[in-house]
Amino acid sequence: MGKTTKSPLNLPKQADSGRIYIGKLGRSVGVNGMLRVFLQTDFPQFLKQGVVLSTSHPLYPTLEILDFQSAQGSIKTQSHKSESHHNTAPSALITFKNITSKEEASQLTNTLLFSSVDSTRAACELKEGEFFWFDIIGCKIIEEGAELGIVSEIERIGSVDYLIIETSENLLSADSKIKLPKRFLLPYIERYILNTQIEIKSIFTQGAREILEES
């Protein structure tokens, strides 16, 4: 994995088959159709002019970005790399093609925004040893040849990503003096993660069994 203070796991995460949740629209800003957007992605740089997103809104199933302004300013014509995967602003400003008034923008408040898996992979460059959340979810946790469970979700607390693991049914049904929980949290850090092999949907660990038994 290499020593790093940055998490090797990267938002966005998969919301459903083929769609990646990247943020939620807030209130309209001004009178020209601008909205606040609350981001759930480590790659805001791919939100630029011309990008088409799918949405949860029945009247606007897709929206094309006209302008995107992060905390660092407009990046609608730029395609630079983020210096850190943890400096994503909690909110930014966004405008869409054909949404030109406060009234139209207000209809979009609370709308969820999605990208596709393919477009996310194409637009977001990962470094060696980094992985998307949607690739990590569904991976088996393997320790000393035994399957401890499957990653069902990921939660970021501070600068650390925690794998939420559904404990293996074989362990839950096995005779044991220790009653194991149905799920447990494992920090995705070098102390516990030995190797991640996305191609076989497996994460090899050390010390995870101890966390499971003490949870």
Q: Residue 30, by phi and psi: left (phi above 0), alpha (psi -120 to 50) or beta? A: left
User: Is pLDDT above 80 for 4?
Assistant: no
- Which candidate, 109, 95, 112, places its Cα nearest to that of 31? 95
**Residue 90 is encoded by which pair of tokens?**
């909690």
Least confident span in 11-25, 36-50, 167-181: 11-25
Is pLDDT above 90 for 201? yes
Q: What is the fold, at CATH topology level, of the domain defined by 137-214?
A: SH3 type barrels. (2.30.30)
Question: Which pLDDT tens digit goes with each residue over 25-71?
Answer: 999 999 999 999 999 888 888 899 999 999 999 999 999 999 999 86
pLDDT of residue 79: 25
Q: Name the fold adopted by 9-129.
A: Elongation Factor Tu (Ef-tu); domain 3 (2.40.30)
The pLDDT value recorded for residue 212 is 96
Give pLDDT, residue 42: 84
- Kindly give, in sequence order, each residue whose CB lies less than 8 Å from that of residue 160, ignoring residues fewer than 6 positions away: 7, 187, 188, 189
pTM of this structure:
0.75
Kindly report, as residue ranges, where domains of CATH 2.30.30.240 are found in the chain. Answer: 137-214
- Residue pair 215/148 in contact (Cβ under 8 Å)? The answer is no
The model's pLDDT over 98-146, given as tens digits with 9 standing for 90+, comes to 999 999 999 999 999 999 888 888 888 888 888 999 899 999 999 999 9
Of 74, 66, 71, whose CA–CA distance to 99 is shortest? 66
* Cα–Cα distance for residue pair 88/39, rounded to 1 Å: 8
Predicted local distance difference test score (pLDDT) of residue 96 = 98
What pLDDT does 16 receive? Answer: 58
Residue 174: predicted pLDDT: 73
Bridge partners of residue 43, in order along the sequence: none
Among 104, 44, 134, 29, smallest CA distance to 53 is for 44
Contact between 44 and 68 (Cβ < 8 Å): yes
Binned at pLDDT 50, 70 and 90, residue 88 comes out as very low
Which residues belong to CATH 2.40.30.60 in the chain?
A: 9-129
Question: Which conformational region is residue 60 in: left (phi greater than 0), alpha (psi within -120 to 50 degrees), or beta?
Answer: beta
Per-residue pLDDT at 80: 24
